[in-house]
Amino acid sequence: MASKRVPTSPYPDQKPGTSGLRKKVPVFRQPHYVQNFVQAIIDCIPDRKGATLVIGGDGRFFNEQVVQIALKIAAANGFGRVLVGQNGLLSTPAASCVIRKAEAVGGIVLSASHNPGGPEGDFGIKFNGSNGGPAPESVTAAIFERTKAIGDYRISDAPDLDLGRIGTTEIDGMTVEVIDPVADYAELMRTLFDFEALAKMFASGFRMRFDALSAVTGPYAKAILEGALGAAPGTVVNGEPKPDFGGHHPDPNPVHAHELFDLMHGADAPDFGAASDGDGDRNMIVAPGLFVTPSDSLAILAAHAHRAPGYAGGLAGVARSMPTSRAVDRVAAALKIEAFETPTGWKFFGNLLDAGRITLCGEESAGTGSNHVREKDGLWAVLLWLNILAATGKPAQELVRAHWAEYGRDYYTRHDYEEIDAGAANRLMEGLRGKLGALPGTRIGGLTVKAADDFRYVDPVDGSVTEAQGVRVTFEEDARIVYRLSGTGTAGATLRVYIERYEAARDRLELPVAEVLAPVVSVARELADIERLTGRAEPSVVT
Ligand code: VG1
Ligand code: CO
């Protein structure tokens, strides 16, 4: 067999966003579209000769075809070895784990995460570096530049590989190892958590439900929760990965995971409920009768992580993305450790994790993780919660209430205005930016603006600067509004408005979220003139 050089012409739109290149499937199915992008990624890996590459994805529609293409392009570009998950599957955190363990130069991760799949659904391709994490801005920018100049790609003539069988084969002198997608990940989890204590907790009648939303975490959750830890069969629901996620939106939030949400709020709620997203890096945590916001979850995990063996030595520091509530900052202050605020997207945590400045980090969008890999990790968060429940012997809802009593509560909501006109979205952001200087001191809707800016991040490790990461407005009344445009959408623009307010008074810890935030919500609408500029009176999704 041999490889060939195929002439191609550039596509102008292959710019990676918050988390890789995400487009509708029909866009990816244009001639050479996938090949161009994969070759561009590979062109940005200088030390690829003989090196190891990891390939896998969340199993959505088109996953396997792209795995086959990537394998053949890797072979023609001189890689020595590729590790690929069986049937082309690897959850995003498992891909990160395998890259690190195999000392690979990187990985190609196929996912559009929580976005719907199917022939008209979304697809995505992302490059992760040798630390297992999403490529930093400098690399994604180089990949984009390369896509604009590409003139040909190299690809092997080999026939498609059998990805169903675990084992080793060769194409064009490159070794291909089809691996069990769960094994390395499960082994890593065993080193971090007290599996014995967890198994005891399940044996003593602890009940939980894990909703895999017909996405990639099913096999992981079944192997670990029902297999290794002995949770009752049926604990994991929707556990078979499906190419279209059963027609659902694999997004673990109260809207899209409403079955779990309703169960946990009903009379027959088990002790703990959790869900994960399309590619397994997000998590939703629901205690009986009580949804735990991702921002609170991060703070609670930070406060109790030392109870799990992997974090027994305490935390070096913590980080949160800018729109994530400030709950974790309060814990960091109490623990006297550093707290960092980064732009949205996991790639910004990489340097802090690599430098040992932080141990735990998270995002309001249901992402939590630690230094064990370089991606957020849904099942890891669930296991850390379980380990904390086992170690404290307290019900989850009690832990949350105790946390609020100690630190106060950051009431939080996010309003998404999806698929709005891109021009209108940009005008709205520009309008906000234009008035930032005049805002401090103004009174609006009963609140007084304390500060307003457009978030600019200076990476504390390498000094790189990232501008225009979202407009934030803070108020004297301990409230905050953040506005930014999504970098993962595939149709029009999505405006995200993040709204929060801190309450510390004992009698104000259990009020309805909508009620506490109502005044801030109306200020958020007024300040950005949302209805007039977007034509939307209400957000499309409230979480
Ligand atoms: C969203 C979230 C962000 C997350 C990103 C990728 O980005 O807000 O916090 O890191 O998705 O998550 P954006 O730009 O649409 O707001 V995943 O689970 O989609 O890889
Ligand atoms: Co995801």
Indicate if 375 and 491 belong to the same structural domain.
Answer: no
Q: Is the CB of 282 under 6 A from ligand 1?
A: yes
CB 241 within 8 A of CB 89: yes
CB 76 within 8 A of CB 155: yes
ipTM: 0.98
Indicate if 207 and 134 belong to the same structural domain.
Answer: no
Residue whose C-alpha is closest to residue 370's, from 342, 345, 399, 350: 350
DSSP 459: -
Indicate if 396 and 414 belong to the same structural domain.
Answer: no
Indicate if 139 and 258 belong to the same structural domain.
Answer: no
Is 464 among the residues known to form the active site? no
Per-10-residue mean pLDDT of the chain, 543 residues long, equals 91 93 97 98 95 97 98 97 98 98 98 94 97 94 97 97 97 97 98 98 98 97 98 97 92 94 97 97 97 98 98 98 98 98 96 98 97 98 98 98 98 96 96 96 96 97 95 97 91 94 96 97 96 95 91
Helix ranges restricted to H, 148-282: 183-192, 195-203, 217-221, 258-264
Indicate if 177 and 191 belong to the same structural domain.
Answer: no
Domain extent for 37: 3-181
Q: What is the CATH number of the domain that holds 532?
A: 3.30.310.50
CA of 50 relative to ligand 2 center, distance in Å: 30
Return the ligand 1 atom nearest residue 488 CA: 15
Indicate if 170 and 65 belong to the same structural domain.
Answer: yes
Q: Residues for the chain: how many in total?
A: 543
Indicate if 316 and 375 belong to the same structural domain.
Answer: yes
How far apart (Å, rounded) are the C-alpha atoms in residues 132 and 351? 12
pLDDT at 18: 85
Return the ligand 1 atom nearest residue 17 CA: 14
Q: Is the CB of 377 under 6 A from ligand 1?
A: no
Residue whose C-alpha is closest to residue 324's, from 372, 376, 278, 286: 376
- Going by CA atoms, what residue is nearest to atom 18 of ligand 1? 113
Q: What is the CATH number of the domain that holds 164?
A: 3.40.120.10
Could you tell me the two tokens for 245? Answer: 């996620």
Residue type, 373: V
CA of 528 relative to ligand 1 center, distance in Å: 22
Could you tell me the two tokens for 268? Answer: 């027959």
Indicate if 262 and 320 belong to the same structural domain.
Answer: yes
Q: Is the CB of 19 under 6 A from ligand 1?
A: yes
Indicate if 49 and 138 belong to the same structural domain.
Answer: yes
CA of 535 relative to ligand 1 center, distance in Å: 25
Number of domains making up the chain: 3
Q: Of 19, 113, 295, 365, which is the active-site residue?
A: 113
Helix, strand, or coil (residue 240):
coil
Interior/surface letters 175-198, b for 16+ CB within 10 angstroms, e for the rest = ebebbebbebbbebbeebbbbebb
Last residue of a domain, one of 407, 436, 462: 407
SS3 sequence of 46-57: CCCCCCEEEEEE
How far apart (Å, rounded) are the C-alpha atoms in residues 108 and 430? 35
Indicate if 193 and 325 belong to the same structural domain.
Answer: yes
How far apart (Å, rounded) are the C-alpha atoms in residues 543 and 414? 5
> How far from chain centre, in Å, is Cα 162?
30
Reported as half-sphere exposure (CB side, CA atoms, 13 A), residue 267 has a value of 0
Last residue of a domain, one of 159, 181, 203: 181
Residue whose C-alpha is closest to residue 58's, from 123, 106, 127, 103: 123
Indicate if 362 and 380 belong to the same structural domain.
Answer: yes
DSSP 463: -
Indicate if 10 and 90 belong to the same structural domain.
Answer: yes
CA of 279 relative to ligand 2 center, distance in Å: 5
Last residue of a domain, one of 392, 407, 422: 407
